[in-house]
Amino acid sequence: MVKKLIFFLSITFLGFSQSINYAVLNNQAFVMNSVIALKASYLRVNDDLDFLNMRESELGTLSKYGSTIGDMSGYEAEIGFGLSDKDSIFLNFQEWNIDYGGSKLSNKKIELFNRFNLVSNQFSYINSLSFDIGYIMDFANRVEITNSGLMNSMIKKVSPNSDYSISDNGTILKNGSETTIYDKDSGNKISPSVAIDNLLSNSYYLKILAGKKISRRSILNLYSSYYYVDIQSDVKISKELLQNFSVANLNRSEHILNLGVSLISEFKYLIFEINYEYNKIYRDNLEYMNYSHNLDIAISKPITKNLLFFVSGKMMFQQLNRDIPYLYNQYTESQFDKKYGFAKFGLIYKIKGF
């Protein structure tokens, strides 16, 4: 009788711990046990989806820099392989297209990580202990800022003593006089712009995850990570705007420590997940807003034994301060203290592997 009970509990726990690996928020201390999981998501925020009114309340003062300030659309694709009962590998790609100040930032993110299970025992205090070794690359094409308000703000930050400014019609103002620039070959008018270029960050991290079954269908996971981030970006202002300025090299590195907690519960028809994460960011000569915390919530509905549909939401309490590293520098360090977030819709399909 005792052996049958132990066998039943083992099968129940094993089945549930495997099922969570096909859910949305992948911060669980369990590996995939010879399963392949495919995830596809659509990411979006606009007036219709901004049910918390964050775009208007948090970014409304910036609307003069662009009528669609903060709108975002994007997608995500992920594949996970359960290499063994101890080892899983994941490859994730995301693209975020965000409207800011009449320009569009198209950030692409590639993440590759390996999760290795150190301990798996349903009868111990910690049921599962794992670690991740990972790499993340964020990159984007040049962003051209043509909005006069944003350009004037950037010029003042780069060169506080500059007496240049840009009018709404693209002329350069200095000491009450206006100057219009024309191309010497074509004769066409040249509109001033400020470019943010060479946008790239490489992150290397180690994460420790511990999982504990707290009820028959709920598992609590705690995790902590260390990130080393190498960042590249340039600010380019044409000589016509600032005579003694052409390129500001903003390359730097930073170190990040984070703590997170993730809860996943399986109900009769739904799977509920919630994940909270706090990040402490160590940056040289950048002191403002050197932390961030995010909240993710997801609700999933199994459609078949192998297919799952989910709806998810992400809330960033310090906007993109942590999520797109190259955006933060000495000229933008006070711009990420506003809340931001988006919705995510998608499917996960699992295939029984080898």
Distances (CA, A) of 40 to 28, 173, 341, 345: 19, 49, 19, 8
Q: Return the closest-CA partner of residue 66 out of 157, 144, 125, 140.
A: 144
How many separate domains does the chain show? 1
Residue with tokens 């005579």: 243
pLDDT band at 183 (very low <50, low <70, confident <90, very high): low
Residue-wise pLDDT tens digits, 42-91: 999 864 455 455 555 545 555 544 444 578 899 999 999 988 889 999 99
DSSP state of 327: G
Q: What is the CATH number of the domain that holds 285?
A: 2.40.128.130
Digit-coded pLDDT (tens) for 99-148: 765 677 899 999 999 999 999 888 788 899 999 999 999 999 877 776 67
Range of the domain at 16: 2-352
- Assess contact for 102 and 319: CB atoms under 8 A: no
- Count of CB atoms situated within 10 Å of the CB of 345: 14
Looking at residue 34, what DSSP letter applies?
Answer: S
On the question of pLDDT at 349 being above 50, the answer is yes
Asked whether the beta carbons of 65 and 1 are under 8 A apart, the reply is no
